[in-house]
Copies of this chain bind each other. A is one copy, B any other.
Amino acid sequence: MSGAGTIHGVGLGPGDQDLMSVRADRLVRNAKHIAFFRKAGRKGQARTLVDGMLHPEAIEFAMEYPVTTEIPLSDPRYNEILSAFYADCVAHLRKLAEAGEDVVVLCEGDPFFYGSFMHLYTRLKDDVPVQVVPATTGMSAAWTATGQPITWGDDILTVLMGTLSEEDLAQNMARSDAIVVMKIGRNIDKVRRALRTAGKYDAAWLVEFASMPKQTVQKLSEAEDKVTPYFSIIVVHGNGRRP
């Protein structure tokens, strides 16, 4: 491995370039090789986030997700297709690293917190040097946008994905003081029902595009029938002990 380049999984934070870490900013601006995930036919959210920052001669490697929307998560083909896709990405990155090249993989949010980079990381880490740069999460930007602290004193914070079952959502919401729900999009009606069951609906906020120019912040109850992106975040604030 001597002379091998390093794969940097660089957390870009919630979406505002000014909230990137000093380290991420430096790595992105100086990178010769940049890699990022995107949906086929799109520019990609992570790539868009670094617009204007890349070195003019940076070499870009777009990792385009295979189209899987027609295949349910439970279908074994779903895992097969994604596994083959990750294997292809990893082969390319490993080759670059083995040739002595450093690569910056652009990661939205914090790479180890529900991030796509983790799928590359686990496949690369035993073969080539991999470094991960933690970052401000989208949920931090979301609760900051609401103008209210998320957790006080001994408050329990639970982070839930909108893809969970309604029952799991409701049970976990009921036992928690502060709540963050991510991966909303088409799950929003289920999430609303679960919040109602848990008695937390009226306390919930919906934040879209946290920290980005098109950010919106509303009480969830005032956003009835709203169609919202997958990356929206729902926040319920804790109300714990405070002097």
Interface residues of A (CB under 8 A from B): 11, 13-14, 17-23, 25, 73, 78-80, 82-83, 86, 110-115, 118-119, 121-122, 125, 132-137, 140-141, 143-144, 147-161, 163-164, 168, 172, 175-176, 211, 241-243
* Given A18-B21, A21-B136, A156-B161, 19 new contacts (CB under 8 A): A19-B134, A111-B144, A112-B140, A112-B151, A114-B151, A114-B152, A114-B155, A118-B149, A132-B144, A134-B141, A135-B136, A135-B140, A151-B159, A154-B161, A156-B160, A157-B159, A158-B158, A158-B159, A159-B159
A112 is contacted by which of B113, B118, B150, B164 (Cβ under 8 Å)? B150
Given contacts A19-B23, A150-B112, A243-B78, is CB(A156)–CB(B136) below 8 Å?
no
Given contacts A135-B140, A164-B156, A172-B175, is CB(A113)–CB(B21) below 8 Å?
no
Given contacts A136-B136, A157-B159, is CB(A152)–CB(B18) below 8 Å?
no
Given contacts A112-B140, A149-B112, A154-B164, is CB(A119)–CB(B14) below 8 Å?
no
Number of copies: 2
Residues on B with beta carbons closer than 8 Å to the beta carbon of A80: 243
Residues on B with beta carbons closer than 8 Å to the beta carbon of A161: 153-156
Distance A121 CA – B146 CA, assembled complex (angstroms): 13
CB of B164 within 8 A of CB of A147, answer no
Q: Which of A80, A133, A149 has the most CB of B within 10 A?
A: A149
Residues on B with beta carbons closer than 8 Å to the beta carbon of A159: 151, 156-159
**Which chain B residue has the least Cβ–Cβ distance from A25?**
B22
Distance A80 CA – B163 CA, assembled complex (angstroms): 45
Distance A164 CA – B135 CA, assembled complex (angstroms): 28
